[in-house]
Amino acid sequence: MSAPTVLRRPSPARLSGPTGRRLPSWGTAALILAALAAYPLVFADSAAHNIGILALTFGIAATGWNLLGGYAGQVSFGHALYFGTGAYTTAALVRQGWSPWLAIALSLPLAALLAAAVGWPCFRLRHHYYSIATIAVAEIVFILVTNLPGLGQANGWELPVVEQSLANLQFSLLDKRPYYYVALGFFCLAALAVWLFLRGRAGNYVRAIRDDQEAAAAVGIDVHRYKLAAAALSGAVTALAGGYYVMYVLFVDPPSGLGLDLSVSFTLMAVLGGVGRFWGPLLGAWVLVFVQDVTRQEFSGSGRSVDLLLYGALIVLVSITEPGGLLAIGQRLWAPVARRLGGGRGGKAAPEPAGSAEVKP
């Protein structure tokens, strides 16, 4: 009688096939961050700075969503819950005299625990059932916050205006560059956290789960555990965006902190830029914020939701052209140039830009 077969947990190296997607190189990251750092110097007006601040802030939230929805394949429409956790926790503590830095820091583990608590039952569901469940949970919290006197109800909370300083995270509105560079610093922190997660064992496992959950479970991967790990980090990153956003606008209420349109926006940003691509959510955030700014200037109050209509049309157009998003279109345009450059070096094609490989949602 033969001995029973023992299924061993695979090492990350064994998951280098369809699940072992390359992450951005340091060179790619340096070029992107250098361009971001130069932006407020090239575009000096306050309106351009405001676009950059919002794009980086929402880019953080979209990057958090992309970890769970893109790399782990768990499409959530309830990430406004974690954004609002960061916003309301930060606002509550700052109103009590706490340092905003400490308030934001404390909101991160709270959002991570909340994401794990939501994921514990919801990850028993699959595909669109999971997505619907996340909407339901987020909407329940939205209704509760709207009716709780201790959280400002529908009127929300205003934060006190204090002395302008880095310690207080409040700066002059005449020169918004300090807000921009703090947002850039927070984005770098969020991107580094996601990058470290994805390059390790957990990152390989969640991508294996996304590609084939049954096969991942069959080779010994604890599916539920690694889904919860991805959800916890995703929630914490999204809360970081919410905490900084409330310090920028000094106000939070249920629509601006917990609204369903926020969850949809985070999803759209990742999808347009390139779901499952490291820089896709950031690119999508810049495009969406720019579209919002233009439509609000052109249509004012009469153009409510016109930005989402235009953004939706853009997503449809991009999806027809290249389902991988704007980054995939850029990769397609780069390919002929790469082949020519490769031919000039002896006929070998140039390598594909790091971080541009398509990842299925």
Q: What is the CATH number of the domain that holds 60?
A: 1.10.3470
Task: Specify if 58 maps to a domain.
Answer: yes
Give the global pTM: 0.85
**292 within domain boundaries:** no
25-29, 134-138, 182-186, 232-236: least confidently modelled range: 25-29
Q: Are 321 and 329 in contact (CB under 8 A)?
A: yes
pLDDT top residue among 72 and 345: 72
Report the candidate in 311, 128, 302, 279 with the shortest Cα–Cα distance to residue 194.
279
CB 209 within 8 A of CB 73: yes
| 291 domain-assigned | no
**Res 10: pLDDT:** 45
Q: Give the total residue count for the chain.
A: 361
- State the virtual CA torsion across 329, 227, 117, 59 in degrees, nearest 10: -20
- Examine the pLDDT at 359 and tell me if it is beyond 70: no
Q: Which pLDDT score, from 0 to 100, does residue 174 have? A: 87
pLDDT for position 303: 53
Mean pLDDT, residues 344-349: 46
- pLDDT higher than threshold 60 for residue 223: yes
Would residue 312 count as lying in a domain? no
pLDDT above 90 (res 315): no
* pLDDT tens column, 202-216: 999 999 999 989 999
**pLDDT at position 304:** 59
Beta partners for residue 158, in sequence order: 251
Cβ–Cβ under 8 Å, residues 335 and 351: no
Q: Is the pLDDT of residue 2 over 70?
A: no
Average pLDDT (97-101) is: 95
Query: Closest Cα partner for 157 from 55, 249, 274, 286?
Result: 249
Query: What is the domain extent for residue 130?
Result: 33-276
- What pLDDT does residue 4 have? 43
Does 208 map to a domain?
yes
On average, the pLDDT of the chain sits at 84
Residue 317 within any structural domain of the chain? no
The label of the residue with tokens 């880095």 reads 166
pLDDT digits (tens, 9 = 90+) for 250-282: 999 999 999 998 999 999 899 989 888 999 999
Q: How high is the pLDDT of residue 16?
A: 37
Total of domains in the chain: 1
- Whether 325 maps to a domain, the answer reads no
174 lies in some domain: yes
First-residue to last-residue Cα distance in the chain: 44
